[in-house]
Amino acid sequence: MARRDTKLRRTGVSRRTALMGMSAGLASLAMPRLGRAADDTIRIGFPTPLTGPFAAEARDQVKCAELAVKLVNDKGGIGGRKVELLVRDDKLNAGEAATRTLELIEKDKVHAIVGALSSAVQLAVNEVTRARGVIYVSISQSDTINEVKDFSKYTFHEALNPHMTTAAVARQTLKKGMKVAHLVADYAYGHEMLRGFKRAQATIGAESVGEILHPFGAPDYSTFMPRLMSLRPDVLCISNFGRDQANAIKQAVDFGIKQQMKIVVPVILHNQRLAVGPDVFEGVVGGANYYWGLETQNKTAAEFNAAFRAANGGAIPTDYGAYGYSGVGSLLQAMQAAGGTDTDKVIAALEALKYDLTKGPQQYRKCDHQSVQSVLVLESKKKSAMANDNDLFTIVASDAGTEDLLRSCSELGHAT
C-alpha cells in the first residue's frame, strides 16, 4: 500500500507541474485579449433566485434587466462601451448569494451589482458589496436596508419598501374600528410587512385580533385556517411572497374565508395570480410597484410595455420584472451621466438622478438611497370582468411618489 501511495503522489506532482506549465502558457496567450475585453465592457452582476419558490418572479427580473441592457447597447452603449449582464442563481439562499456576489466582484470584475429578490438575501448581498466598495442596487422589498445599520454609500434601493406598500394598502382597505388578523411568513419580509401593517393600523385606528407566523415555504396552510376563522376578523392580511402567497390564498378560499372576511396582501403578485386563477384571487387587494394596465393612464408605462413586448414576442412585463428594468436602467443612466464606471462619480450621479423608466418620475433620496416612487393598490378582477387573459387587476389607487410615503431620515438614524 505504502509503495502505491508514493507512486500515486509522484505521478500526481508531475501531472500538476505539467498542467501548471500548460496553463501558464495558455494564459500568456489569452491574456492580452482578456485584458482588453476587461477594459471595454461594463459588467453588471445580477444575482437572483432562478430556482425555488420565487423562480417565476426572478425570471421576469432577468428578462427586464436584459431589456434595459439591450436598449442601452442598441444606442451604442455607455461612452462607446458595451454593457454586459452577468446573471447568477442565488437559489434564494443568503450564503449562496454572498458567494456568487463575491465571485462576481473578484473573478468577473463587475462594476456594480443589481438584483436579489428575497429580503434576507439582499442583506447578504449588501454585506458583501459594501465591504468591497461596489455599488449595489437592490430590487427586493426591505425596510432594514434603508436603516443606518445596513446602509452604506454604495447601497441603493430601487424597490418599494414594506413601510410604503403596507401604508398604501391599509389606506384603501382598513377603516377605524376594523378587526384585523395576520398570517405572516416567519422571516424578514413577513416581519417587516407585519410591522408596516401594524403601524398603519395604529394610525387608522384598526385593531389586531391575532397574528400567526407560518414557516417560510410551507406548502400547506390548512392547519392555520380554523384558528384564523375563530378570530372573526373583518380583514385577513396575508404577508408572504411567491408560491407561499398562492398556496395560502388558495387554501384560505377553500375554507370559505372570503365569505367571512376580506383578504388583503402587502404585495399582490402577477405571476401568483396567474398560477392559481381568477376565482381564487377574486377581490383580493394588494400593493404593487407596477402593473402593465397602467399604460392607459401613463405614457412611460406604455413605452416600457411596448419595448418589452417587442423583445419578448408580445408578452407583458410583470411587477417584479419592472424592478429589474428600473434597477438596471437607473444605474446605466447614472453611468451615462458619470461618463463611465468610477464608483464615486456614479454614486454622485445616482443621487442626483431623476429617472422615469416604468411608471413616472423617481429619484433616490440622498440620506438612505431609497427610491421615491409611486405605489399602486390593485384589486384582483373576477373572471367575467376580465377583458383578456392579462387583464388581471383593477387599479384602485396610484399614490404619487413623494417623500411623505417614506419614513423620515432621522427616524432611520441618518444624520439630517
Partner 1 sequence: MDLSLIIMQLFSGIALGAVLVITALGLTIVFGMLGVVNFAHGALFMIGAYAGLYLASLTGSFWWGLLLAPLLVGAFGMLIEFVLVRRLYGRSIDDPLLLTFGLSYILVEGVRIVFGSDGIPFPTPSQLIGVVDLGVGFFPKYRLFVIALVAVVLVALWLTLEKTRVGLIVRAGARDPQIMRVLGVDIGKVWLAIFGLGVGLAALGGVLAGPMRSVNPEMGTLVLAEAFVVTVIGGLGSIVGAVIAGLMVGICISMVALFAPEMATIVMFALMAAVLLVRPQGLFGLKGRA
- The rounded distance, in Å, linking the Cα atoms of 104 and 96 is 12
Q: Which of 204/275 has CB closer to partner 1?
A: 275
Smallest separation, CB 96 to partner 1 (Å)? 16
For residue 75, give the C-alpha cell.
444606442
For residue 118, give the C-alpha cell.
428575497
Smallest separation, CB 50 to partner 1 (Å)? 8
Write the CB contacts of 270 (distance below 8 Å, at least 6 apart in sequence). 288, 291, 318, 319, 320, 392
Smallest separation, CB 354 to partner 1 (Å)? 35
Which has the closest alpha carbon to 256: 286, 290, 222, 289?
A: 222
Smallest separation, CB 325 to partner 1 (Å)? 19
Smallest separation, CB 295 to partner 1 (Å)? 23
Smallest separation, CB 226 to partner 1 (Å)? 4
Q: Which of 102/213 has CB closer to partner 1?
A: 213
Q: Which of 236/280 has CB closer to partner 1?
A: 280
Q: Which of 85/280 has CB closer to partner 1?
A: 280
CB atoms within 10 A of CB 96: 17
Is 259 exposed, middle or buried (CB count within 10 Å of its CB: 0-12, 13-18, 19+)? exposed
- The rounded distance, in Å, linking the Cα atoms of 416 and 411 is 10
Q: Distance between alpha carbon 42 and the CA centroid of its chain, in Å?
A: 22
Residue 398: strand pairing partners: 376
Which has the closest alpha carbon to 163: 110, 199, 209?
A: 199
Q: Which of 299/383 has CB closer to partner 1?
A: 383
Q: Which of 150/186 has CB closer to partner 1?
A: 186
Find where cell 456576489 sits.
101
Give the interface with partner 1 as residue ranges (CB under 8 A).
51-53, 55-56, 59, 186, 212-215, 217-220, 222-227, 229-230, 243, 246-247, 250-251, 254-256, 271-272, 274-277, 279-280
